[in-house]
Amino acid sequence: MACASSRKVGEGTYANVYEARMLRTGLKVALKKIKVSKLRADGLDVSAVREVKFLRELEHPNIVRLHDVYAHKGNVHLVLEFLPTDLEAVIKNSALTFGPGDVKSWLMMALRGLHHCHRQLILHRDLKPNNLLLGRDGQLKLADFGLARDYGDPARALSSQVVTRWYRSPELLLGAQHYGPGVDIWAMGCIFAELLLRVPYLAGDTDIGQLHTIFRALGTPGAADWPGIELLPDYHALPQYPRTPMRTLFTAAGSETLDLLERMLVFYPPARISALAALGHRYFKMMPPPTPPAQLPGVAGVGGRPPTKQVKLNATKANPAADETVDAKPVARRLSFT
């Protein structure tokens, strides 16, 4: 046997995850035991097949590493890099304070991982804070490729029933069957906003309500904002809402921050910024610089800065470019979302 598992750390729809050690190297790993699907009717779960397919091809510091796959007693086991926590847990931990450099650092790592997927023509299709895992060294890694697939072949229709509701892009909500990296960018935009707000940004309570929630926050797109919107399969008369300026909700964010956020949450999918262009955005070049991963809040064990006033430090170091002075104040605060 390759791994000795010690304790169960998670349960998914198609797998149980255990903390384990590789017998040969002693390396601590996460062991994902694929559940045999209901009464083994269809054999190996299709999500597991997707996860194995894509993780075998992807190798990047910001994508979870698949050390090995093996079968034992007829069950397939995935040996994954062990990552103690995830971004959702960090966002929800009210004991932690985020500085603007921290948010920038997380977003940058997430976009790097995402760009690596996209340039290999792979869509993740389930981005959410819960699937952005954090290592002991603070590195953020994209995980859970159970919904991933390759894209770009116009002859093949894709399912619009993907991505967790709050992070689902408007074209998916309107039933689009031909889409691209824009769906991941939209989700990433929602995560970016969530990092700034500390609560989910577009939290709809039903699939239909999700579209309303989006329009309430960003305004209903007009014909000019989204050419061809009426051609989407589930298009219907859209509820009309005016656009609220982002500034009113994101009071503490700098204009570069908001500019990037707005570009990630553009309605018309082809006009949405790409992961690569987002990484080249001015936001990443302005002060404060992204916090080194090991110094990010919530980094378990070693290092990991206590929840104190690092932010002030940043503020004094920062070259107070007129633009970003607001950014230098602590962004982190819980806002009630109406």
Partner 1 sequence: MAAGAADEAAPPVGISIGKLSQRAQRREVIENLAPPTASAQEAAAAAATAALAQAAGTADTKGGLAGASAATKPAELQKHRQLSEQSTQLRHWRFTAEQIAAIREQANAVAVARIKHAVAREQALHAAAGTTSPLFPAPLGDSDYITAEEQTVLCRYFEIMIGQFRHILKFDVTLQATAVAFFRRFYLFHSVMEYDPKTVVLNCTYLALKVEDKYMALKDFCRNIKNAPDPEVLLDMETKVIQGLQYELAVHHPYWPLHGFFLDMQAHLQTTISIPATLHAASKKLANLYVESKSLLQGLIFSDAIFQYSPAQLALGCFVTTGNDHGFAQEMARYTEDRFLHVASLFPHGGLVAMVERIGQLAKAQTAALKEDAGVRARAAPLARKLAKCRNPALLPDTLLFKQLQAEDAERQQAKRSDKAAKEQAYHDALDDVVAG
Residue 32, annotated as binding a ligand: yes
Instruction: Name residues contacting partner 1, limited to 29-88 (CB under 8 A).
Output: 40-44, 46, 49-50, 52-54, 56-59, 66-74, 76, 79
Of the residues 7, 13, 26, 155, which one makes contact with partner 1 according to CB under 8 A: 155
154 binds partner 1 (CB under 8 A): yes
CA dihedral for 48, 299, 100, 314, sign (positive or negative): negative
Q: Which is nearer to partner 1, 156 or 312 (CB)?
A: 156
258-269 in b/e form (b: 16+ CB < 10 A) is bbbbebbbbbbb
Please check whether residue 97 is in contact with residue 52, taking contact to mean a CB–CB distance below 8 angstroms: no
Containing 140, the helix (H) or strand (E) segment is strand 140-142
8 is in an annotated binding site: no
- 203 lines the binding site for partner 1 (CB under 8 A): no
d(Cα 213, Cα 206) in Å, to the nearest integer?
10
Give the residue with the Cβ less far from partner 1, 73 or 285: 73
Site string for partner 1, 119-138 (x = CB under 8 A): xxx-----------------
CB of 18 to partner 1, least distance (A): 15
Question: What are the residue numbers of the active site?
Answer: 126
How far is residue 328's CA from residue 84's CA, in Å, rounded to a whole number?
Answer: 29
Q: Is 279 in the site for partner 1 (CB under 8 A)?
A: no
Q: Is 309 in the site for partner 1 (CB under 8 A)?
A: no
Q: From the CB of 139, what's the least distance to partner 1, in Å?
A: 19
Beta bridge partners of 34: 15
Residue 299, interface with partner 1 (CB under 8 A)? no
Q: Exposed, middle or buried, 133 (CB in 10 Å: 0-12/13-18/19+)?
A: buried
Taking the least distance from each CB to partner 1, the nearer of 24 and 285 is: 24
Amino acid at residue number 181: P
Taking only Cα atoms into account, the Rg of the chain, rounded to an integer number of angstroms, comes to 21
Of the CA atoms within 13 Å of residue 239, those in its CB half-sphere come to: 12
Q: Which residues contact 150 (CB under 8 A, 6 or more apart)?
A: 121, 122, 123
69/278 with CB nearer partner 1: 69
Query: Measured from the CB of residue 6, what is the shortest distance to partner 1 in angstroms?
Result: 16
Task: Say if residue 222 carries a ligand binding annotation.
Answer: no
Q: Which residues bind partner 1 (CB under 8 A)?
A: 1-3, 22-24, 40-44, 46, 49-50, 52-54, 56-59, 66-74, 76, 79, 119-121, 149, 152-156, 158-159, 180, 270
Residues in binding site: 9-17, 32
Residues in binding site for ATP: 9-17, 32
